Amino acid sequence: MTESSIVSLGSILPQIFIPHRDQPRLRQIADPLAKRGAWTGRFLLAELDRSIGCDDDELPKDTVVIGSRVTYRIDDEEQRKGLLVYPEDWIAGCGCISVLSPEGAALIGLRVGNAMQFRGPLGRDRTIRVMEVEPPHASNVVPFRRRERVLPGFNPRPEPDGAA
């Protein structure tokens, strides 16, 4: 699938909905990548261009947005679950999906039952289908992890006296 095929398939691609509040930030993170020729940056910008912008109260409840917990399937593989996040909130192994990953850029704006093609990390065309969406709420927040500077031979959390 080439970049031009995204445009030519526009009439058969599912409608996608992206909240007005998210569009500027999504463009801000996708644009520099697109200018450097990164496929996911160009793909996310194309998705933003074809999206229907809406206010939060107009957004269909089963829409994948930043902070949604989503169950999806790629091709005929087993179902996967993840939390769609901005790239800076992505943490390896936490079940997060960066919106700048091929899967994340394909998922944003889709609704339950929607399917569409996207280019996988190895350049292969894949099909992603949304099975279930849990809207964003406070429990979908990625916990902030402070990185501690650890010096050799220094324990920042010493054991209390008498503990071994």
Task: List the structure tokens of 59.
Answer: 């957004």
Q: Which CATH class is domain 14-135?
A: alpha beta
Give residue 130's pLDDT band: very low, low, confident or very high (50, 70, 90).
very high
Does residue 163 carry a pLDDT above 60?
A: no
CA distance readout (Å), 91 to 45, 67, 101, 142:
23, 14, 13, 8
Span 70-98, average pLDDT: 91
**Residue-wise pLDDT tens digits, 29-64:** 999 999 999 989 999 999 999 999 999 999 999 999
| Complete edge-to-edge strand list for the sheet that includes strand 125-134 | 96-98, 80-85, 69-74, 125-134, 115-119
For residue 113, what are the contacts with CB-CB under 8 A and spacing of at least 6?
Answer: 129, 130
Q: Give the whole-angstrom CA distance, residue 59 versus residue 61.
A: 6
List the beta strands (DSSP E) in 21-148. 52-54, 69-74, 80-85, 96-98, 115-119, 125-134
Does residue 23 carry a pLDDT above 60?
A: yes
Three-class secondary structure of residue 82 per DSSP? strand
Span 69-87, average pLDDT: 95
Span 119-146, average pLDDT: 76
Confidence at residue 80, expressed as pLDDT on a 0 to 100 scale: 95
Domain boundaries, the chain: 14-135
Span 2-20, average pLDDT: 66
Confidence at residue 10, expressed as pLDDT on a 0 to 100 scale: 43
Beta bridge partners of 119: 125
Beta bridge partners of 85: 98
Confidence at residue 162, expressed as pLDDT on a 0 to 100 scale: 53
CA distance readout (Å), 65 to 34, 59, 61:
21, 10, 10
Task: List the structure tokens of 27.
Answer: 């463009």
